[in-house]
Amino acid sequence: MKINAKTKVYGVIGDPIEHSLSPIIHNAAFKKLKLNAVYLAFKVSPTNLADAVKGLKSLGVSGFNVTIPHKISIIPLLDEVDSLAEKIGAVNTVKNVDGKLVGYNTDGEGALKALEENGVSLKNKKIVLVGAGGASRALAFTFANYAEELIILNRTEEKAINLAASISKNYGLKVKGLRLNEENLTLELKDADILVNTTSVGMYPNIKETPIPKKLIKPGMVVFDIVYKPLKTRLLRDAKLKGAKVVDGLAMLVYQAVKAFEIWTGLHPPVNVMFKAALRGLKD
Ligand code: ATR
């Protein structure tokens, strides 16, 4: 990589950030397309967020990703937020447009592409979404364009109810927010087509945990876990044993990056190169 005075700078801000795979994924794409650009990780604590955003703007950084814990708190610090990210209430991608910082959210599109790539269509489907945090909101607002029914189950019931209410205000599908417990899961999974885990349950190092008891998974159902560390979560291993179709978190990770890359550069990045880079990063 040749760095000179014209090199465009991109990056990700978050805390913790050391384990982010985004630098590996984006730099692999820049290299393949021979773009004079570099992508770095910046550890930014919540107390430094406002200063960091001002700094990124004054330094003329071309674009950056936003991750935990800043996806929501960054919104008032941006000049503009696109309508989907505004509805979601969270931003994961920022583009510097002639000195103005514009926020987007590419998580939902990433999830949609991941399902599509695995041959899963959302049309006329009943989707059960577990979790009601930032990632869940992004998926819910994107899936609501296609699905027939959306059930949101969350440990904190109020968040599920609120998310369901904002979905039903904006879209015409059947939607319900419920507490995450075995009774509601039993009821809703009986006739569900797609189950999506958006919680961190099962994520490294708690790899023995699962948000869904194995007995409630039905053969033929699609089970999508957005957790990518490990790729084969306990939920997905259980689902496979029960005869469900499983989709892991790798494709969503890559496709949210693909979408961000497109927003920043206007170019379609080499998706295969980004997949390989992400897999390499996961092994490190
Ligand atoms: P993200 O941006 O990754 O979605 P988040 O906004 O912090 O992160 O959301 C985390 C989600 O995981 C929430 O739905 C959270 O449930 P609560 O709203 O009740 O906090 C869910 N979650 C995290 N740990 C959980 C656990 N042990 N059991 C059930 N749900 C859990």
pLDDT (tens digit, 9 = 90+) per residue, 86-119?
Answer: 999 999 999 999 999 999 999 999 999 999 999 9
Catalytic residue among 71, 95, 125, 259: 71
Distance 20 CA to ligand 1 centre (A): 19
Distance 199 CA to ligand 1 centre (A): 5
Residue appearing with tokens 């349950």: 201
pTM for this one?
0.95
Q: From the alpha carbon of 199, which atom of ligand 1 is closest? A: 12
CA distance 197 to 146: 18
Which residue CA neighbors atom 12 of ligand 1 most closely?
Answer: 199
Which pLDDT tens digit goes with each residue over 213-229?
999 999 999 999 999 99
pLDDT tens digits for 233-244? 999 999 999 999
Residue 71, judged by CB atoms within 10 A of its CB (0-12, 13-18, 19+), counts as buried
With the C-alpha atoms ordered 95, 277, 111, 117, is the resulting torsion angle positive or negative? Answer: positive
For residue 165, give the nearest of 149, 176, 153, 154 by alpha carbon: 176
Mean pLDDT of 243-265: 98
Q: What's the burial of 32, exposed, middle or buried (CB within 10 Å: 0-12/13-18/19+)?
A: middle
> Which atom of ligand 1 lies at the shortest distance from residue 180's CA?
29
Catalytic: 71? yes
